[in-house]
A and B are shown apart, each in its own frame.
Chain A
Amino acid sequence: MIVAVVSGKGGTGKTTVAVNLALSLDREVQLLDCDVEEPNAHLLLRPEINTAEPVCLPVPVFQKERCTGCGRCIEVCAYNALVLLRDKVLILQELCHGCGGCLYFCPEEALVEGKKVLGTVERGRIGKIGFACGRLNVGEALAPPVIKALRRGADPALDTIVDCPPGASCPVVQSVRGVDFCLVVTEPTPFGRHDLEVVAEMLRMLKIPCGVIINRADLGDGGVRDFCKEQGIPVLAEIPFKKEIARSFAAGIPFIERFPGWQKKFQELWNAVEERVASSNARNCCA
């Protein structure tokens, strides 16, 4: 089973939930940190990193001697990443999405494929947890290719927890693609509710079942619970605000180490998700 931990709003506790859940299961699992702009799960897990692979975007490289200046490459590029300057095609790499259109349509083969490094995928292990995390290079805009490489290299046979970036746009869509269930972590404030609404809509569109975890559950109002009730989204866990939980996160310590009672709660959470996934699969099967 693959479970993604998402939230529209940042800082609601995705990484806290993902890491404590992985540790609580106490068996072989995988944890993938897909928040490649700001990966943080390693700060809590402290895994040993064994490999680091660069993630590259295929970008065009111009070969002047073959170019006839026909401008076809410029015409097909949807991102305005190519500019014709007199007899030379200038390539603006930072605008390129690596779609390969210019290479394919150039009648003279004046463009060949080169590579631009966008970031890195690191893989390692801590105890029973197989760990992987992506890291977008500072100054690069495109997170999705790094996330894609990270997800691709995961072991499909293992139970997997995916720690996602905040928001609801392309990096999140890439992170949750093909997962069985999403745990949406939110906080009971108007900000939390608003961003939960956005994520719930995204998951409906992607047809991924979800449940909510309310973090800092005692600080705020009832808006999130009302929304879940209206929408029929289950609230699967509530984590209270405790200074000691905040402090253990601050120091990079998973809070189940200080509150061992939570290990069982996280195990029950996983079981509840498993049951929901099984029953939704059964429903889809019959339909």
Chain B
Amino acid sequence: MPVVMREIVVLSGKGGTGKTTLTGAFATLGKDAVLADADVDAANLHLILRPEVVAEEPFFGLRLPVVDRERCTSCGVCTQLCRFEAIQDGELDETACEGCAVCFHACSAGAVTLREALTGCVYEARTAFGPFVYAALGVGRENSGKLVARVKQRAREIAREQAKNLLVVDGPPGIGCPVIASVAGANLLLVVTEPTAAGWQDLERVLELARHFGVRAAVCVNKASLDEEIAGKIEHYCRQEGAAFLGRIPFAADVVKAVVAQSPVTERLAGPAAQAMRAVWERALDLV
């Protein structure tokens, strides 16, 4: 029988609610999972999974123009047409360029050529908890969505090769380009929120995103003991919205200590926070 692969993507909307800490914990609990870090802007999961990199793949996500000064006649057409204000007097501002290549097509002197720009690197690694794929986006670069798509694609290939039936993805914050790329193909969005007005509001936007793309979402409240009242309201809100509620995880200074020790929480701790993470994970697995 072919293995049916399931994909859980951990999201939050608001940053810093504990996506990576929880994904790290799930990694120790997930049976037969492939792990991936789709937060390519600020990847952190590798800091607690102690990966041993087995392969590196350069990622060319963008074609950037190169201006040949000898040929440039300073006609100014490229500057006039560039809607990203990225080219002026034959000088390219790489951080503004979105790689549209309009300057290349428009230059009648043939002074503009295109080069494939290295915008990131994809790492394939072994960990004690299963195979792991992560990436580093070149600083300030465009196209993080494309790199996220590549990370997920590679992780799926590994899952197929090794007959693993679960992919667990640590997602980026927000709701924009990299998040949309990480949501594609997911069976469940596991949304980690925190009991704050901001956490709640950002959760609402993530649930709206889940509806928009027709993906099932389930919610847990991390650091719940910092404000049980708001945590309770969020739980109530989720039930109203028809999103599965997976549980509350109490705040524990020990969790920060586990991060400092660069190891997954559930590997070191058996306290209430680790237990709650385990319960959240088991409920999430029931849903997929």
Q: How far is the CA of A173 from the CA of B197 in the complex (A)?
A: 27
Please state if A78 and B100 are interface contacts (CB–CB under 8 Å).
yes
Check A227 for interface membership: any CB of B closer than 8 A: no
Mask, B209-235, CB within 8 Å of A = 1, is 100110000000000001100100000
Q: How far is the CA of A192 from the CA of B205 in the complex (A)?
A: 25
Check B105 for interface membership: any CB of A closer than 8 A: yes
Which residues of A, 257-272, contact B by the 8 Å Cβ criterion? none
B140 touches which of A205, A246, A249 (Cβ 8 Å)? A205
Query: CB-CB < 8 A to B13: which residues of A?
Result: 37-38
Check B17 for interface membership: any CB of A closer than 8 A: yes
Query: CB-CB < 8 A to A247: which residues of B?
Result: 226-227
Check B23 for interface membership: any CB of A closer than 8 A: no
Please state if A141 and B84 are interface contacts (CB–CB under 8 Å).
no
Check A70 for interface membership: any CB of B closer than 8 A: no
Please state if A10 and B16 are interface contacts (CB–CB under 8 Å).
yes
Known: A97-B98, A141-B180. A40 touches B198 (CB 8 A): yes
Which residues of B, 79-97, contact A by the 8 Å Cβ criterion? 81, 83-84, 95-96
Query: CB-CB < 8 A to A166: which residues of B?
Result: 15-16, 41-42, 173-174
Please state if B41 and A169 are interface contacts (CB–CB under 8 Å).
yes
Q: How far is the CA of A253 from the CA of B39 in the complex (A)?
A: 30
Q: How far is the CA of A192 from the CA of B202 in the complex (A)?
A: 21
Question: Quick check: which of A47-55, A84-92, A194-202, A229-237 contacts chain B, the rest being far away?
Answer: A194-202
Check A98 for interface membership: any CB of B closer than 8 A: yes
Please state if B176 and A250 are interface contacts (CB–CB under 8 Å).
no
Known: A99-B84, A167-B42. A9 touches B256 (CB 8 A): no
Please state if B63 and A78 are interface contacts (CB–CB under 8 Å).
yes
Please state if A190 and B259 are interface contacts (CB–CB under 8 Å).
yes
Known: A37-B174, A198-B139. A100 touches B102 (CB 8 A): yes
Q: How far is the CA of A8 from the CA of B176 in the complex (A)?
A: 16
Please state if A40 and B14 are interface contacts (CB–CB under 8 Å).
yes
Question: Quick check: which of B25-33, B141-149, B151-159, B280-288 contacts chain A, the rest being far away?
Answer: B141-149
Please state if A38 and B106 are interface contacts (CB–CB under 8 Å).
no
Please state if A136 and B175 are interface contacts (CB–CB under 8 Å).
yes
Please state if B139 and A202 are interface contacts (CB–CB under 8 Å).
yes
- Closest CB in chain A relative to B159 CB, distance in Å: 26
Mask, B243-268, CB within 8 Å of A = 1, is 00000000001001001101000000
- Closest CB in chain B relative to A216 CB, distance in Å: 8
Q: How far is the CA of A78 from the CA of B14 in the complex (A)?
A: 32
Query: CB-CB < 8 A to A209: which residues of B?
Result: none
Question: Smallest CB-CB separation from B212: which chain A residue?
Answer: A139
Q: How far is the CA of A46 from the CA of B212 in the complex (A)?
A: 28
B100 touches which of A101, A169, A177 (Cβ 8 Å)? A101
A168 touches which of B16, B102, B140, B205 (Cβ 8 Å)? B140
Check B177 for interface membership: any CB of A closer than 8 A: yes
How many chain A residues touch the partner (CB < 8 A)? 60
Query: CB-CB < 8 A to B178: which residues of A?
Result: 169
Please state if A78 and B140 are interface contacts (CB–CB under 8 Å).
no
Query: CB-CB < 8 A to A38: which residues of B?
Result: 13-15, 173-175, 198, 201-202, 205
Please state if A9 and B15 are interface contacts (CB–CB under 8 Å).
yes
Please state if A11 and B259 are interface contacts (CB–CB under 8 Å).
no
Q: How far is the CA of A167 from the CA of B213 in the complex (A)?
A: 24
Mask, A176-220, CB within 8 Å of B = 1, is 010000000000011100110010011001100000000000011
Check A283 for interface membership: any CB of B closer than 8 A: no
Q: How far is the CA of A136 from the CA of B177 in the complex (A)?
A: 11
Check A251 for interface membership: any CB of B closer than 8 A: yes
Q: How far is the CA of A28 from the CA of B173 in the complex (A)?
A: 32
Please state if B230 and A250 are interface contacts (CB–CB under 8 Å).
yes
Mask, A1-34, CB within 8 Å of B = 1, is 0000001111110010000000000000000000
Please state if A221 and B17 are interface contacts (CB–CB under 8 Å).
no
Query: CB-CB < 8 A to A9: which residues of B?
Result: 15-16, 42, 44
Check A159 for interface membership: any CB of B closer than 8 A: no
Check B118 for interface membership: any CB of A closer than 8 A: no
Please state if A78 and B260 are interface contacts (CB–CB under 8 Å).
no
A246 touches which of B142, B201, B226 (Cβ 8 Å)? B226
Please state if B44 and A250 are interface contacts (CB–CB under 8 Å).
no
Check B195 for interface membership: any CB of A closer than 8 A: yes
Check B51 for interface membership: any CB of A closer than 8 A: no
A169 touches which of B144, B197, B201, B213 (Cβ 8 Å)? B144
Question: Smallest CB-CB separation from B204: which chain A residue?
Answer: A138
Known: A11-B16, A170-B142. A78 touches B99 (CB 8 A): yes
Please state if B41 and A249 are interface contacts (CB–CB under 8 Å).
no
- Closest CB in chain B relative to A72 CB, distance in Å: 9
Question: Smallest CB-CB separation from A139: which chain B residue?
Answer: B212
Check B68 for interface membership: any CB of A closer than 8 A: no
Q: How far is the CA of A205 from the CA of B139 in the complex (A)?
A: 8
- 20 A-B pairs with C-beta separation under 8 A: A9-B16, A9-B42, A10-B16, A12-B16, A38-B175, A38-B198, A40-B202, A76-B105, A78-B100, A98-B83, A99-B98, A100-B102, A105-B105, A136-B176, A177-B96, A191-B47, A194-B44, A220-B256, A247-B226, A250-B226
Residues of chain B touching chain A, judged by Cβ–Cβ distance below 8 Å, are 12-17, 20, 40-44, 47-48, 63, 81, 83-84, 95-96, 98-102, 105-106, 137, 139-142, 144-145, 172-180, 194-198, 201-202, 205, 208-209, 212-213, 226-227, 230, 253, 256, 259-260, 262
